Structure 1
Amino acid sequence: MQNMLRKLDQENETLIQDVSTRWNSTLFMICRLLKNKEAVKATLDKQRHKLVLLSAAEWTKLERLADFLEPCRYVTDLLGGETYISCSAVLPVLRFLDHTMKVSDEDSTYIVKFKTAFIKDLSERKAALNYDWLKMATVLDPRFKDLKCLPREEREGVWKKLEELLQDGSIKATSEPTDEPPKKKGLLCFSSDSDSDSDDVGSNHALSLYKAEQTISETDCPLQWWSVHAGAHPQLSALARKHLSSPATSVPCERVFSLAGNIIQKKRAALSAENVNRLVCLSNWLKEKK
């Protein structure tokens, strides 16, 4: 196949295999196969094999499948990040996926089948989510505090829950954190069909002041916003730091374990814990420098 790629003046690259435990590997496999479609077909035509080659209709289906899987790649990249706030983006992202995978009358049979299976699997995963925590993280994020990712009838309940937390005397103001904003955009703008409500949420003055604040851009950092506005909302800033500091997924932690596993091998089993920590830190610093 490498010779064929050179003849076609294409970049010399290998095909990618789907791995069930690796996010987006199905999409990467399909995209690489579509990119090298002519080289693969030409290589197989010159060889003796009993493989059943894809038909033109099946190639078209792969292209359509790649289009539907591409938004999922953006979602996994966003929720797996570690240099920005991701917990408060879970509910907007789920709303985005529901919108993207909604079956329409124009969809063909195989697309309907794919979307139905996708929504079914997503619904099963949603059942394990801590919705109370995610709703608090979302409403405490100045990017999404209008709660457009939730149905209108659920928003008032979220504000009331936040008011109850504010009335808890155990809440104390904390020091202001800093962070970097995410670079993802275009995924979190989907709202429910109704506009954000503008009703008063009660007599709590602090909550009313926060609700009156304008939302910020999806690319802005909520922790930087809270750092600037902590003086105006001392109790809420403490709640925001508590809820927004939680990562959306375990991916950042798993990256550390994977890196440590690559460092500690049979031939390097004598490494001390101190040196392992140093090597992990050096690897992280080099990655940030690049």
Structure 2
Amino acid sequence: MLERYIEQQTAVFATLTHIRRNVKDIVTLNDDNIHNIEDIIKVLKPLKTVATLMCSKKHPTASLIHSLKEMLLKQLEVCPNDRGLVSDVKQAINNDLNRRYSKDDTLSFLQNSSALDRRFKALPYIDSASRRNVYHSIGQSTVELHTILQSQPTETWTEPNLPMITEATPSTSGAGSGEVTNVHDDDDDDDDGDAEPPAKVKAKGDKESCALSDLFGDVFVTHVEEAKSLYERTESEISMYKEDEVPSLESDPLSWWRVREGKYPLLSKYAKQCLGTPATSVASERVFSTAGDVVTAQRASLSSDNVDMLVILSKNMIIPDDLIDLTV
């Protein structure tokens, strides 16, 4: 609204002078007020950017909350050369932001979420001691989540009892004789020229190596690694995660973890639990708005199942560009 007033200041003044012929009767803002408005617009610009980002992003996750809050507190620090009104506005915003998300459990969850978002895993807004505590908390939460998942009963699949199928044995003329005869005669076997040659006699050393292979087979192991505990495996994954490359800010953190589930089998489960938490209720509010557009006074007889299907299609159906051009 303030930006709009600055843009339309000339038009507003012209309209007022047209309505009231006497310029002295016009009450408007002076130059000092205009300068204050311009300074306040600069102060509120980061807040506008954050609000637009959180509302326009398709899936804003909880990992953005702590990072954006710390960024706003850094940019809205009171400077010595700020005017009185600007200083008061910054101080009021800082006081309001500092008391938000200040509970220990909420702050710990938001910090863990930011650390598991590989774009903000460096956590530059907190000191090194707090950063170590965050990753220690991530390790403990990962171990606890894995223990809970392992303790839950899993459904086992049992093979159904199927009838046994036996192969029919070849017999001679009588089906009820029950005797089995050879199809080939002994004379034919003697005359067969494709008989296999006699096996070669193996040496004594070959017999010993063959015996060892039969005893050990595939279980022969040349190196045995020491078994690691669940917490040690989690710490190893956290160390690898810290050294992993940082992609661009526009990438999706949930897609990143889904691709690397094999590399981080323990850490990925807790990461998806944190990053799956939405940062705002904008998405759900838009679903309600879409449902309100579907169910109107002229379509009040729609069943609930049809309403659900129409809302899902409205939010998820992708129409190719060539079909959009045909409908225009």
Under a length normalisation based on structure 1, what TM-score does the superposition of the two structures give?
0.71
Deviation at 1:172, TM superposition (A): 5.9
Q: Say if 1:142 and 1:222, in contact at 8 Å, map to a contact too.
A: yes
Q: Say if 2:60 and 2:278, in contact at 8 Å, map to a contact too.
A: yes
- The RMSD of aligned alpha carbons is 2.8
Match of 1:212 among 237, 243, 268: 243
Stretch deviating more after TM superposition (264-273 or 103-112) = 264-273
Stretch deviating more after TM superposition (258-267 or 234-243) = 258-267
Deviation at 1:215, TM superposition (A): 2.3
Corresponding residue pairs, total: 234
3-state SS of paired residue (2:19): coil
Q: How does 1:49-198 map to 2 (within 5 A)?
A: 52-81=27-56, 83-127=58-102, 130-168=106-144, 169-170=146-147
3-state SS of paired residue (2:29): coil
Name the structure 2 match of 1:47.
19
Stretch deviating more after TM superposition (216-225 or 64-73) = 216-225
User: For residues 288 and 171 of structure 1, do their structure 2 counterparts lie closer, same or farther at Cα, with a shift above 3 Å needed?
Assistant: farther
Bigger CA radius of gyration: 2
Under a length normalisation based on structure 2, what TM-score does the superposition of the two structures give?
0.63
Q: Deviations over 1:109-160 (max 9, x none)?
A: 0100111111122223333682122112111111111111323331111111
Name the structure 2 match of 1:192.
none
3-state SS of paired residue (1:106): coil
User: For residues 62 and 250 of structure 1, do their structure 2 counterparts lie closer, same or farther at Cα, with a shift above 3 Å needed?
Assistant: same
Distance 1:38 1:146 in 2: 48
Q: Say if 2:112 and 2:134, in contact at 8 Å, map to a contact too.
A: yes
User: For residues 64 and 279 of structure 1, do their structure 2 counterparts lie closer, same or farther at Cα, with a shift above 3 Å needed?
Assistant: farther
Name the structure 1 match of 2:283.
252
User: For residues 233 and 171 of structure 1, do their structure 2 counterparts lie closer, same or farther at Cα, with a shift above 3 Å needed?
Assistant: farther
3-state SS of paired residue (2:85): helix
Percent identical among aligned pairs is 30
Distance 1:237 1:81 in 2: 26
Name the structure 2 match of 1:23.
none
3-state SS of paired residue (1:231): coil
Match of 1:271 among 298, 302, 321: 302
Match of 2:7 among 35, 42, 63: 35
Q: Say if 1:87 and 1:247, in contact at 8 Å, map to a contact too.
A: yes
